[in-house]
Amino acid sequence: MRKPVALLSVLVLAPLGTWAGTVPPPRPAQLGLCAACHGADGHARIPGAPNLAGQSSAYLLQALRAYRSGQRDVAVMRAAAGPLTARDMQALARWYSAQSPCKPPQAGSP
């Protein structure tokens, strides 16, 4: 009787870790190219590059698809998104959405 109860517990409770957001996504293989401008943690490294940390993964995935198709006409992003597979884009969107959002600048800070 113990085995069925233990198995049932695993099947019921295991998804809760993922569902609750406690299991971070794996670091994407293609992160390096994005990190050059957006940072590995999603906090932009260069002026004009948007912060990606904490954005909705659905939004990020939609944006990557739009850059690759040319619907969003930004040459550097079209070149960056062009070689990405659908799986790469999903991994990147999950990664950046799981990062801690950037704190807004404090009033009076440079």
How buried is 43 (Cβ within 10 angstroms: 0-12 exposed, 13-18 middle, 19+ buried)?
Answer: middle
What's the one-letter identity of residue 61? L
Judge whether residue 72 has pLDDT over 50. yes
pLDDT digits (tens, 9 = 90+) for 27-63: 999 999 899 999 999 999 999 999 999 999 999 999 9
* 42 secondary structure, DSSP code: S
Nearest Cα neighbor of 26 from 92, 101, 102, 100 is 92
Give the fold, CATH level 3, of 29-98: Cytochrome Bc1 Complex; Chain D, domain 2 (1.10.760)
Q: How confident is the model at residue 24 (pLDDT cuts 50, 70, 90)?
A: confident
DSSP run (H or E) holding 88: helix 86-98
Delimit the domains of the chain by residue range.
29-98
